[in-house]
Amino acid sequence: MSDLVLLATKKGTLIFDRKNGRWSSRPIAHPGMAVSYAAADPRDGTMWACMDNAHWGPALMRSRDAGTTWEDASRISYPKGARYIEQLIPDPKVMEEAGKPVTYKPAALMKVWVLGFAGKDQPGVIHAGTLPGGLFTTRDGGESWELNRPLWNHDSRGGDLFAGEATSKNEWGGTPAAMAYGDFVPGIHSVAVDPRDSNHLYIAVSSAGVVETRDGGKTWAGCNRGMLNDYLPSPEAAWGHDPHFVTLCPGQPERLWQQNHCGVFTSEDGAGRWKRVSQPDASVHFGFPIAADAKDGNTAWVVPLRSDQERMSISGGLFVARTQDGGASWQSFREGLPQEHCYDVIYRHALDASGDRVCFGTTTGNAYLSEDRGETWRCLGNNLPPIHSVRFA
């Protein structure tokens, strides 16, 4: 159970420590600079912050002394010749893309959206999910990063665009999260590494779905069977899904959890098949983050929001829902959370669990922490910057 939690915010990285039963914040790191994601490598404690500086571009910083000092890590760069198929920014005046000739754009890093740490069987290996949809891997603890070309060149993205024209249809849609960066491109926001074998990992793409490799990234396959969407003519399409966040239970890695645009889904067979387990009647359906218990595959937490149309807390109050039976039923917990005039949105990386502790942060700068598995809550801060990610060390 962790005594330290990192918050990536619009104005820097906040670290809260638990000492003598009290949680308190250190002075903010990277003051004034937007941080899209911050986490500690469980293998060696190195802290990472993904800088999302609007002026000076996306960059990575790391701390090898538990957050006392930070240094620049190598920038992630798309290699020369990396291209993607251009997608039109959704516009109600342009209803139909069909028949439009395929056009390409050169790829440049817009944002590092998430980091995924390999296990102890692969020291120094870290994966970075980015906009515009490339997965990068370092094998030397962040000294150098390499684009995963088999995924970038996957048939679901049009094939090898380094080599020439598209040879297949692009199935990866853009994510609205990219619009602030001036384009409509896909993004990789989830990296879930199998703790039994670091060559086996899942990534999740907005907007495409979940993709899996079992050979360390040499080959990839979509694994979206059982997924349902509410916005395409074919609800069981192989692609076109909108996972908001995907994670797995480290103690039972065949169990995956997915908060999707179209509900909460789970898989008991390593993403062989997904099952929708949300319960709109219990207000558990739409939301962005999901956290899995480290040991018990049947336990997960979500912070639901009111519908994809409105994206705000339900009836003005915040609550956390927990299942302990694999999604068959959900319990809602409100004690210690505001229950009126509350409009908080919880981003996809802004909920985490560590043993009995659960923490989440909101776009309106509130952070809440529970030490009894989500049943009662205390406030860590009310006037924080907008919170992009929450991760226990």
Partner 1 sequence: MAQVTFTRHLLRFFPSLPETEEVAGATVRELLDALDRRYPGFSGYIVDELGRLRRHVNVFVREEPIYDRETLADKVAPGDKVHIMQALSGG
Contact set with partner 1 (CB under 8 A)? 10, 54-57, 59, 72, 75, 77-78, 106, 108-109, 182
Residue closer to partner 1 by CB (options 48, 319) is: 48
**DSSP string spanning 283-346?**
TBS--S-EEE-SS-TT-EEE---SHHHH-S-BTTB--EEEESSTTS--EEE-BTS--SS-----
In angstroms, what is the minimal distance from the CB of 134 to partner 1?
11
In angstroms, what is the minimal distance from the CB of 180 to partner 1?
10
Residue closer to partner 1 by CB (options 228, 345) is: 345
One-letter amino acid at 314 equals I
The Cα 212–Cα 160 span in angstroms is 19
**DSSP string spanning 84-121?**
EE--PPPBTTB---TTPPP-EEE----EEEEEEE--TT
In angstroms, what is the minimal distance from the CB of 57 to partner 1?
5
The Cα 136–Cα 126 span in angstroms is 8
Residue closer to partner 1 by CB (options 75, 100) is: 75
In angstroms, what is the minimal distance from the CB of 33 to partner 1?
9
Residue closer to partner 1 by CB (options 72, 165) is: 72
Distances (CA, A) of 119 to 31, 195, 339, 383: 31, 6, 40, 36
Task: Respond yes or no on whether the N-terminal peptide bond of residue 370 is cis (omega within 30° of 0).
Answer: no
Residue closer to partner 1 by CB (options 75, 378) is: 75
Nearest Cα neighbor of 14 from 337, 303, 353, 365 is 365
In angstroms, what is the minimal distance from the CB of 385 to partner 1?
11
Residue closer to partner 1 by CB (options 106, 316) is: 106
One-letter amino acid at 302 equals V
Strand partners, 355: none
In angstroms, what is the minimal distance from the CB of 101 to partner 1?
22
Nearest Cα neighbor of 111 from 70, 76, 157 is 76
* Contact (Cβ atoms closer than 8 angstroms) between residue 341 and residue 315: no
Contacts of 294 (CB under 8 A, 6+ apart): 249, 250, 251, 353, 354, 355
Residue closer to partner 1 by CB (options 147, 367) is: 147
In angstroms, what is the minimal distance from the CB of 80 to partner 1?
8
The Cα 326–Cα 164 span in angstroms is 46
Residue closer to partner 1 by CB (options 57, 251) is: 57
Residue closer to partner 1 by CB (options 59, 305) is: 59
Q: How many other C-beta atoms are found inside a 10 Å radius of the C-beta of residue 70?
A: 18
